[in-house]
Amino acid sequence: MGTISKRKRRSFLPASSQLRYAAAYILITAAALFLLNLYASTTIRSMTFHAQADSLESKAQLLSNALLQLDELSAGRAAQAVNSMEELHTTRTVVTDAAGVAVYDSLTTGNAEGKTLLFPELVTALEGSDVFFARYADGAVESHAAVPLIRGGKTLGAVYLMSYDTDQGELIAALERNILRISFALEGGVVLFSLFFSAAFSRRMRAILNQVGRMREGDYSQQSPVRGHDEVERLSRAFNELAARLESSEARRRQFVSDASHELKTPLASIKLLSDSILQNEMDPETQREFIGDIGREADRLGRLTQKLLTLTKLDSSVEEEREILDAAPVVRKVVRMLLPLARLRGIGIDTTFEPDCSVMTVEDDLYQIVFNLTENAIKYNRQDGWVGVSIRRAGDQVELRVEDSGAGIPPESMEHIFERFYRVDKARSRAAGGAGLGLSIVHDMVERSYGTITVQARPGGGTIFTVRFPHFDLEEDET
C-alpha cells in the first residue's frame, strides 16, 4: 500500500467557492420572492381598484338615472336628487351641464358651483364616454368616475364622483406589510437552509475529493461515507467501488510481480548453479553434456515463461488485434496434427470430432493458442497410455470446443483457482512438466477477448473436461 502524505491536504472546495454558490442561490431565491411579492401587491391593488370601479360606476349610474328624471338640471333639483341617495357615500360629487359648468358640488370648502370644470374625467364624460381610474397613494385609495347625462341622444351634462378611502388603503398597506414580512422570513429561512445544505454538500464532496487525493497517493483503503439517496451518495458509492477495484488490482499486480520474479529467478538460479559446477569441477565429457543439457532445458523453460509473460502483457494492454469471422474446425485440426507426435510419444490416443458450420469471431492466433494450451495440458498431465478427446461442434447459437482427458484430474478445492495466474495444482509435477501456472490464465483471457466463456469440470471415471463456448457467427453473411 502506498504511503500517505503527512502534509495538510488542500481543500478541493475553498470557502469562497462555497459562499459564492450559497450567495448565488440566495440571490436567485431573493429575486423570486421579490417578484412574488410584487405580483401579490399588484394583484391586491388590482382587485381593490376593480371593486372600487364597480361601486363607483354603480353609484354614478344610479345618480345619472335620477338626474335624467328631472325636468331641468338646476342646482336645487340636482342637490335634491343627490341627497335622496343615502347609499352614495362619496368624498365629492359634482354635476355639470353640457358646457361643463358645475351645477352641483358636494364640497363645502372649495365648492365649484357655477364654475367651469375641466377635469379630464368630466371632459371625456361630456364627449359621451364613461371614465374610471384609481390610484393608491399616501395610504389611501383614490378613485374617480364620470358618466355622461344623455337623453334623446343629446348630452345634458355629466356626473363626477370621487372617493378617498383610507380604510381600503390601510387594508392594502397591511396586506403588503404582511407579505413583505413573510418574504423576509422566507428569505431568512432560505439563507439559513442554503448555508446549512451548502456546508453539508461541501463536506460530503470534500470527503470524496480527499479520497481521490489519497488514491492519487496510492492509498486505496479509505472509504468515503455513503449517506442519503442523491447524486452525491451515488458518486460516493461509485468511488468506493472504484477504490476497492483499484486496491484489488494493485494487490494482484504486486502478487503478479512477486510470482513472476520468483518464476524467473528459479531457472536463472539453476543455470547459474549448473554453469558454476561445470567451471569449478573437473568433469568427464558425458557429465558435462548432461549438465549442458540441463542448462539448455532451463533456458527453454525460461524462454517459455518469458513468452507467456509477454503474452499476458499483450492481453492486459488496451491494444486489441482486429478480429475476423473464421471456421474454427480447421484451426483445431491443425493443433491436433501438431501435437499428435507428442501424444504418440507418451502412448496417448486422441479422439477428434470436427463438425461443420463452427464459425466464430476471434483472432486466429488466439484460437490456435487456446486449443494448443488445453490439448497440450491434456497430454502432459495424462497417465501413460491415456486418452484425450478434442471436439468442436455447433450447440444452438454457440460453438462449443471440448477438451477432455483421462488423467488424474483436478481436486475440487482447486477448480475455482485453476485460471488464476501462477496457480498450480501440483507444484512439483508442474515444474517437472515445465509449467509456470500461466497457460490456463492466458487461455481464460483469450477466451474472454473473443466474447466466449470457459468452464472446467471433473470427468466421470477420472480426468478433466474443459469446455469453451463462443457465440456463433454466420460466415457466409460476413463474406457477402
Mean residue pLDDT of the chain comes to 79
* 9 vs 100: CA distance, rounded Å: 86
With beta carbons less than 8 A apart as the criterion, state whether 48 and 78 touch: no
- Number of Cβ atoms within 10 Å of the Cβ of 216: 10
Most confident of 59-73, 247-261, 266-280: 59-73
Mean pLDDT of 388-409: 93
DSSP H stretches of helix in 384-474: 427-432, 439-449
pLDDT band at 10 (very low <50, low <70, confident <90, very high): very low
pLDDT band at 242 (very low <50, low <70, confident <90, very high): confident
Indicate if the alpha-carbon torsion angle 165, 168, 174, 180 is positive or negative.
negative
In this predicted structure, the answer to whether residue 14 has a pLDDT above a threshold of 60 is no
Mean pLDDT of 83-101: 85
With beta carbons less than 8 A apart as the criterion, state whether 359 and 325 touch: yes
Residue ranges with strand state E in 330-450: 349-354, 359-362, 387-395, 398-405
Which pLDDT value is given to residue 399? Answer: 95
Region for 35 from its dihedrals, namely left if φ exceeds 0, alpha if ψ lies in -120 to 50, beta otherwise: alpha
Most confident of 173-177, 202-206, 467-471: 467-471
State CA 406 to chain mean position distance: 53
In this predicted structure, the answer to whether residue 24 has a pLDDT above a threshold of 70 is yes
In this predicted structure, the answer to whether residue 394 has a pLDDT above a threshold of 50 is yes
State CA 369 to chain mean position distance: 41
With beta carbons less than 8 A apart as the criterion, state whether 477 and 470 touch: no
Mean pLDDT of 293-308: 72
Q: How many CA atoms lie within 13 A of 56 on its CB side?
A: 29
Which residue segments constitute the domains of the chain, with CATH numbers given? Answer: 9-218 (3.30.450.20), 235-314 (1.10.287.130), 321-479 (3.30.565.10)
Mean pLDDT of 60-68: 86
What would the pLDDT profile of 157-173 be if each residue is shown by its tens digit?
Answer: 999 998 888 888 788 88
Instruction: Mention every residue, 6+ apart, whose C-beta is less than 8 A from residue 134.
Output: 48, 49, 52, 53, 141, 142, 143, 144
Mean pLDDT of 86-113: 87
* Angle, alpha carbons 468-469-471 (nearest 5°): 150
pLDDT band at 379 (very low <50, low <70, confident <90, very high): very high
Task: Flag the least confident range among 76-80, 210-214, 363-367.
Answer: 210-214
**Residue that wins the pLDDT comparison between 466 and 259:** 466
pTM above 0.85, yes or no: no
**Bridge partners of residue 19, in order along the sequence:** none
Task: Flag the least confident range among 199-203, 277-281, 386-390, 469-473.
Answer: 199-203
pLDDT band at 430 (very low <50, low <70, confident <90, very high): very low
Helix (H) or strand (E) holding 161: strand 154-165
* 358 vs 473: CA distance, rounded Å: 8
In this predicted structure, the answer to whether residue 239 has a pLDDT above a threshold of 70 is yes
* 413 vs 410: CA distance, rounded Å: 8
Q: For the CA atoms of 101, 105, 111, 116, what is the dihedral angle to 10 degrees?
A: -10
